[in-house]
Structure 1
Amino acid sequence: MSSMRVFQLGLRRAAAPAFRGNFAGRMVQRRLANSQSTSASSAEEILVKQRVNRPVSPHLAIYRPQITWYGSMFNRLTGIILSGGLYLFGFAYLAAPTLGWHLESQSLIAAVAGWSTWAKASAKFGLSMPFFYHSLNGVRHLVWDTGKALSNKAVMQSGWAVVGASVAASLYFSFLA
């Protein structure tokens, strides 16, 4: 006999006494709650008493922060930054002729050419860091999908490796490329 059949049979036997009696096999619903109307103040008192007895779920502040938290948070943020920036620039590029903006490559190159070296490097770092972090963290997740590097130690090491490689690649791209 299958385990599901044994479970169903046991459930029927346990429920059988509830179906016997004056009701001839019909199930009767009983309402055990009070259905009298109460004033607003007494209802508020009841609610306050109930809240005192409710368990309080733990807050994130009681846990020690982990690299996986920050990695997940920054992966989502960089994804939002990259996709949001792409959509904003795409819509601006489409609306540019109507609004009289000049977002052609020549205009953008001429505008950036007037910036200081530090401003150019900062802008490059600001654009490249989300890209490199999101890309390298995506590779990390693809490795996890193969079932590798899932131990706590490997997850921490790969998390810090992604952060380090992202910063190094962004700095290289910002100052040397």
Structure 2
Amino acid sequence: MSLALACSARQLLAPSCARFSALQARSMAMMKPMTPEEHSVSRTEFWEKNKNLGRPISPHLTIYKFQLTSILSITHRYRVSYGQNNSFLGTFPVWLNTVQELHFAAPLLLAAKFALAWPVTFHLFNGMRHLAWDMGHGFKIPDLYKTGYTVLGLSVLTALMLAAL
């Protein structure tokens, strides 16, 4: 039975496979062979051209403008990898007690409590945003920015309220 299914599947996919291989052959770039001398000249011209144009050698992140969506994604991933392990969440009351026992001045105590509360509130609200995405809502660019700013605002306000307790 499985042999019959495999054969029928091959016959159904054969026309599409042939079409794909023809497309692949048409889009393939042809490279001409180069001698070692031609290669060194080509490589030298490449670096001289980039130097004259003022291009950095390895741009990596320097060529990208950070956007709200990328910053929130990086922050969320960092929060998941750092804050979700048991060493932080399991000892959260211990951390809070340690901060209170340091007898900081009021502004410094508020800042320390905010530093403990903000990652948790950010993760909570950004998790809700991800749940909305899982349901298929909010994928248009204006919606992404609206929900991003909403997550930031709500997480900061909630963390400030928790830190003020």
Instruction: Judge which range, 151-160 or 164-173, deviates more.
Output: 151-160
* 2:132 corresponding residue in structure 1: 143
What is the TM-score normalised by the length of structure 2?
Answer: 0.59
Separation (CA, whole Å) in 2 of partners of 1:63 and 1:135: 28
Percent identity of paired positions between Structure 1 and Structure 2: 23
- What do you get for the CA RMSD once the two structures are aligned? 4.4
Higher helix share: 2
1:70 correspondence with 2:66 = no
* Matched length: 138
1:112, 1:120 within 8 Å by CA — same for their partners in 2? no
1:143, 1:149 within 8 Å by CA — same for their partners in 2? yes
The residue identity in structure 1 corresponding to 2:137 is: K
1:81, 1:130 within 8 Å by CA — same for their partners in 2? no
Separation (CA, whole Å) in 1 of partners of 2:109 and 2:142: 38
Separation (CA, whole Å) in 2 of partners of 1:110 and 1:6: 65
| Counterpart among 143, 146, 153 of residue 154 in structure 1 | 143
Compute the displacement of 1:171 (Å).
Answer: 0.5
Q: Please list the CA deviations of residues 99-144 of structure 1 after superposition, one character each: whole Å capped at 9, or x if unmatched.
A: xxxxx95xx5597163332232111100111111122111101110
Compute the displacement of 1:163 (Å).
Answer: 0.4
Structure 1 regions of 5+ residues with no counterpart?
16-31, 94-103
SS in structure 2 of the partner of residue 137 of structure 1: helix
Whose Rg is larger?
1
* 2:3 corresponding residue in structure 1: none
Compute the displacement of 1:156 (Å).
Answer: 1.0
Separation (CA, whole Å) in 2 of partners of 1:10 and 1:154: 37
Compute the displacement of 1:76 (Å).
Answer: 2.4
1:125, 1:170 within 8 Å by CA — same for their partners in 2? yes
The residue identity in structure 2 corresponding to 1:153 is: P
Counterparts of 1:51-62 in structure 2, within 5 Å, are none
1:4 correspondence with 2:14 = yes
2:138, 2:144 within 8 Å by CA — same for their partners in 1? yes
Separation (CA, whole Å) in 1 of partners of 2:131 and 2:20: 46
* 2:110 corresponding residue in structure 1: 121
